[in-house]
Amino acid sequence: MNFQTGSAFASECDRSDHLASFRDRFFIPVTSDGKEVIYFTGNSLGLQPRRTGEYVQTELADWARYAVDGHLNARNPWLSYHELLTEPMARIIGANASETVMMNSLTVNLHLMLVSFYRPDGKRRKIVIEKGAFPSDRYAIESQIKCRGLDPNECLIEVNPRSGENNIRHEDIESVIGTHNDEIALVMFGGVNYYTGQAFDIARITKAAHAVGAFAGFDLAHSAGNIDLYLSDSDADFAVWCSYKYLNGGPGGIGGVFVHSRHSESFDICRFAGWWGHDKKTRFLMKPEFKPLKGAEGWQISNPPILQMAALRASLEIFDDAGMHSLRQKSLRLTGYLEFLINGIADERIEIITPSNPQERGCQLSIRVKNADRSLFHEITRRGVFTDWREPDVIRVAPVPLYNSYNDVYQFAEILRESLAKM
């Protein structure tokens, strides 16, 4: 797409955007004078769909009316409520329904997957991760290593960007995996790095891991609802994600798990079991022997939190109406436009550290502020722009295609330009 400067171009893009009306399905925060903010923090917490309250209130009303009988007699019976989310979520992540389940929270799910797919044996006990992975991922992995009586200093391998570069080259990931070969038990990467915004090639990393006999898993917190995912085709063994970012499931929203179909009947695999993962036909017979369900559902532990799931269901309905592929196409244009405008600002204090290749990023651009001048972040916030700051020197900006506009992007670029000049 050939971008142009000037507000007229942004307005014309909005007029021709067939997804523009989806913005009206969300609550947009307003400033003290009643003006809508420019909300670019969907990578931290997505906006609330207007129908979320209706969906949650339905379950609250049925709880009041039916009490325990709501498990079977609610308008959306709670016993099977989680199944209402499965197919819409599977479409977003490119998976089969049997490979997908919504449950728990992200890091809890990561621990459950590590119990099953981190199997140190002899010299094969190392885990490969990206340098700069989200801290919670690293904490979880280190604790899993320690719980097996091993030393993270010996068992954890980080792949670094090359000197002077911000992002990790895939050939370097493959090189590290090949070098350590039969020492690797698991390769665990983020789908999109939370800090730099770099999107990793899940299929390519999985292929390299499997080539040396290791499992491959991914944290999709910044990927699900952001980029096109083809988890089934990628051959990844597992993935986990949250729903409160791009999926708009609300603060602390329900997490998700993908387990590839080839593991659907791996009933002898080590897992932490709970009654909701037990075979549905005999679950309520309360027998002492655990009989896991086939597929990802077999990793469930507890009965699902209905109110959280109701909130997410309101958002997944919007995703189904918009279509993930269409959203990704708009995202490519919207983020490309943002990049074009930022690159047009003549100020050496800022640089974009996110990959310039659109296929290697989602909607987020990470802007480095030289000398870590946080006052710039405060100034654009004062002017009604919601972004976020990550230490030591990065402002993350994420124009989300469901509810952000080209005019949002244009206005932000002007505010950024003016704020830099003022400082």
Determine contact, residues 207/218, Cβ cutoff 8 Å. Answer: no
CATH topology of domain 57-319: Aspartate Aminotransferase; domain 2 (3.40.640)
Inform me whether the pLDDT recorded for 208 exceeds 80: yes
Sign of the torsion formed by the C-alpha atoms of 42, 354, 113 and 95: positive
pLDDT at residue number 372? 73
Burial of 111 per CB tally in 10 Å (0-12, 13-18, 19+): middle
**Is the Cβ–Cβ distance between 146 and 175 less than 8 Å?**
no
Distance between CA atoms of 70 and 244, rounded to whole angstroms? 26
Sign of the torsion formed by the C-alpha atoms of 28, 33, 35 and 40:
negative
Distance, CA of 352 to CA of 82 (rounded, Å):
40
Task: Give the per-residue pLDDT at 139.
Answer: 98
pLDDT in tens, 382-417: 999 999 999 999 999 999 999 999 999 999 999 999
Q: What is the DSSP letter of 45?
A: S
| Tens digit of each residue's pLDDT (9 = 90 or more) over 54-70 | 999 999 999 999 999 99
The 10s digit of each residue's pLDDT in 286-334 is 999 999 999 999 999 999 999 999 999 999 999 999 999 999 999 999 9
Residue where the block lists tokens 């993935």 = 239
Burial class (CB in 10 A: 0-12, 13-18, 19+), 194: buried
Quote the mean pLDDT of the chain: 97
Give mean pLDDT, residues 255-283: 96
Domain edges within the chain: 7-36+324-422, 57-319
pLDDT exceeds 90 at position 423: no
Nearest one of 182, 181, 199 to 190, comparing CA atoms: 199
Query: Identical fold at 7-36+324-422 and 57-319?
Result: no
Tens of pLDDT, residues 119-174: 999 999 999 999 999 999 999 999 999 999 999 999 999 999 999 999 999 999 99
For residue 171, the SS3 value is helix
High-pLDDT (> 90) share of the chain, %: 97
Q: What is the pLDDT of residues 340-390, one digit of tens each?
A: 999 999 999 999 999 999 999 999 999 999 887 789 999 999 999 999 999
Task: Report the CATH architecture of 7-36+324-422.
Answer: Alpha-Beta Complex (3.90)
**Contact (Cβ atoms closer than 8 angstroms) between residue 301 and residue 277:** yes
Q: What are phi and psi of 80, to 5 degrees?
A: -120, 15
- Written as six digits, the tokens of 318 are 């919007």
Q: What percent of the chain has pLDDT over 70?
A: 100
CB under 8 A, 24+ apart: contacts of 261-266 = 261/96, 261/98, 261/99, 261/232, 261/295, 263/237, 263/238, 264/98, 264/99, 264/294, 264/295, 264/296, 264/298, 265/294
CA-to-CA distance for 128 and 21, rounded, in angstroms?
43
Q: What is the pLDDT of residues 244-253, one digit of tens each?
A: 999 999 999 9
